[in-house]
Amino acid sequence: MSFLKEIERRRTFGIISHPDAGKTTLTEKLLLFGGAIQEAGAVKNNKIKKGATSDFMEIERQRGISVATSVLAFIYKDKKINILDTPGHKDFAEDTFRTLTAVDSVIVVIDVAKGVEEQTEKLVEVCRMRKIPMIVFINKMDREGKDAFDLLDEVEQKLGLRVTPLSFPIGMGYDFKGIYNIYGKKINLFSGDNKQSVSEGIEFTDISVPELDEIIGKKPANTLREEVELVSEVYPEFNKEEYLNGNLQPVFFGSALNNFGVKELLECFIEIAPSPQPKMSEERLVDSKEETMTGFVFKIHANMDPNHRNRLAFVKIVSGTFKRNSPYLHVRHNKKLKFSSPNAFFAEKKEIVDESFPGDIVGLQDTGTFKIGDTLTEGEILNFKGVPSFSPEHFRYVNNADPLKSKQLFKGLDQLMDEGVAQLFTLDLNGRKVIGTVGALQYEVIQYRLEHEYGAKCSYENLPVHKACWVAPEDIKNAEFKEFKRVKQRFLATDKQGQLVFFADSEFTIQMTQSKYPSVKLHFTSEFK
């Protein structure tokens, strides 16, 4: 197959939403339809014993939530699909924001009963900024919830999207009869029995025929006709170009747990979703059809395989073909590296691949050479931007609880911090270690993983800090900066990269410091240069 055809076959997308809207369950069902798994697992279900494929970490299994983004790939109708299942919890939002730099389109999942929630709003805003094409999937139609039109209004108002429904529900909750697929003109009837396998739909080219009354009943049939007519009058017609530019969002209804409406979503998605797109670097726009290889690291996962303590760097390939054992330039270190075993993913299962194409995500064994945001090229100096590192909001001292295991503790901290889930600071005054995170749940995850993966125990102590600010003086040698360092000595620390950080205890302190030392600039992200 030619290089251009390979690119056209690829679809890379992320699934985002508020916690518990059903991202992981939807991912499971997409894998089922893609023939990648024979039986779908569930996140929490007493009858279904099999766990979800994408939640493979022990802590995810226990709590029934996703903690880290997982990458899954499968082939459906000759299209290679790469899914990134992201965590919904706001404590892990950073991981999700980074993932959004590596996808070409997004599926937003909304719970029918709860409607649009806060975390969904934040994530959609990022997608809107970057003009990423979105498809909305309204989930859990087998439960009682809001009216379909009310939901569509809510999506329009709260998320600021222009929507057009491509499928429409017949009834809801107990009266849920099925779904009319507007895009493919088919009706799918719902039966609550098949949770783990796939059912066929009945085709209707025209819904005004009387046979419809016999199948679903007279009243639901009339309601459906009225509603479909209303949809065609109120909402704009689907236009593929507008969708790709991020100005129009198709909406699908269904129930992921009951396997319903997922197939319509997948079939339509394959047709309309974009293939790998060009990406902006600091130097120039890199087109996906270029021959030379470029790619960037958007995530690092320590301990994918607990038996080997290995680290994997996830690389999104932007252009060209990534070949095994070819030398590539690591731009930040300016040295050439070879990779003997690049992996393709299926959650925690991996296989070695000889060549990968734009849009694919490759896992490279990492011995500490990579950082999030690093670029690999065939020799050209490029830097892809847009992989953010936020200022933490929670701070705690880390204390070693087992003096005999201090080596393991430092190694574990070092590796887990490279994942980018949290940041490690060392106080200048006494050299104590401080962990800063975006959400409080991270501490438990770090503690759990240190103990179970590295065999080190740690305890925490609170530290009253409002924000960490990265310090950028205009001139290192001037008296003002020296004065700043002398006065604020107790609150200064260095981050992992050796940059100077100032711990401010309130918003007021930040303003005061700025006005007192005008030549010392304070920044809230580490990438201020």
Percent of the chain with pLDDT strictly greater than 70: 81
**What are the tens digits of pLDDT across the range 136-154?**
988 887 777 788 888 888 8
Distance CA 493, CA 424 (A): 10
Averaged pLDDT for residues 177-206: 65
**Contact yes or no for 189/216 (Cβ under 8 A):** yes
Would you state the structure tokens that stand for residue 467, as one six-digit string? 């924000």
Q: In whole numbers, what is the pLDDT of the chain averaged over residues?
A: 78
Lowest mean pLDDT among 162-171, 181-190, 475-484, 509-518: 181-190
Q: Tokens at residue 282, please?
A: 């600091």
From residue 319, give the alpha-carbon distance in Å to each of 289, 297, 356, 380, 405. Answer: 6, 14, 10, 13, 44
Q: Which tens digits make up the pLDDT trace of 240-296?
A: 888 888 888 898 888 877 777 788 888 888 888 888 888 888 888 888 888 888 888
pLDDT band at residue 190 under the 50/70/90 scheme: low
The answer, yes or no, to whether residue 471 has pLDDT greater than 80, is yes
pLDDT greater than 80 at residue 488 = yes
Residue found under tokens 């679809």: 11
Q: For residue 447, how many other CB atoms are within 10 A of its CB?
A: 17
First-to-last alpha carbon distance for the chain, in angstroms, is 42
Query: Backbone phi, then psi, for 334, in 5-degree steps?
Result: 55, 45
Exposed/middle/buried for residue 525 (C-beta within 10 Å: 0-12, 13-18, 19+): exposed
Buried b (16+ CB within 10 A) or exposed e, 388-427: bbbbbebbbebebeeeebeebbbebbebbbbbbbbbbbeb
pLDDT in tens, 385-429: 755 566 778 889 989 888 888 888 888 888 777 766 688 889 888
pLDDT tens sequence across 202-221: 666 666 667 777 777 778 77
Q: Range with the lowest mean pLDDT among 55-69, 70-84, 161-175, 460-474?
A: 55-69
Q: Give the lowest-confidence range in 31-45, 313-327, 331-345, 394-408.
A: 31-45
* Lowest mean pLDDT, pick from 2-6, 33-37, 401-405: 33-37
> 186-189 and 10-16: which strand pairing?
unpaired
Q: Where are the alpha helices (DSSP H) in 246-363?
A: 262-272
Q: From residue 330, give the alpha-carbon distance in Å to each of 74, 322, 327, 388.
A: 29, 14, 10, 20
pLDDT tens-digit map of 352-378? 888 888 888 888 887 778 887 888 888
* Statement: residue 469 has pLDDT above 50: yes
With 0-12 CB in 10 A as exposed, 13-18 as middle and 19+ as buried, what is 435? buried
Amino acid at 250: P
Q: Please report the domains of the chain, with CATH numbers, ordered by start residue.
A: 3-272 (3.40.50.300), 279-377 (3.40.50.300), 394-523 (3.30.70.3280)
How far apart (Å, rounded) are the C-alpha atoms in residues 465 and 391? 12
Average pLDDT over every residue of 491-518: 86
Contacts of 308 (CB under 8 A, 6+ apart): none
**pLDDT of 156 over the 80 cut:** yes
- Of 233, 232, 217, 115, nearest to 176 by C-alpha is 217
For residue 82, what is the enclosing H or E element?
strand 79-85
What mean pLDDT do residues 435-442 have? 80
d(CA 341, CA 343) in angstroms, rounded, equals: 6
Q: Which helix (H) or strand (E) holds 30?
A: helix 23-33
Residue 513, pLDDT > 80, answer yes
pLDDT the model gives residue 42: 46
Q: Is the pLDDT of residue 41 over 50?
A: no
Which neighbouring-strand residues pair with 327? 338
CA nearest to 47, candidates 243, 196, 216 = 196
Separation of alpha carbons 12 and 81, rounded Å: 6
Report helix, strand or coil for 379.
Answer: coil
Q: What is the pLDDT of residue 264?
A: 80
Mean pLDDT, rounded, for 445-467 = 85
Give residue 69's pLDDT: 64
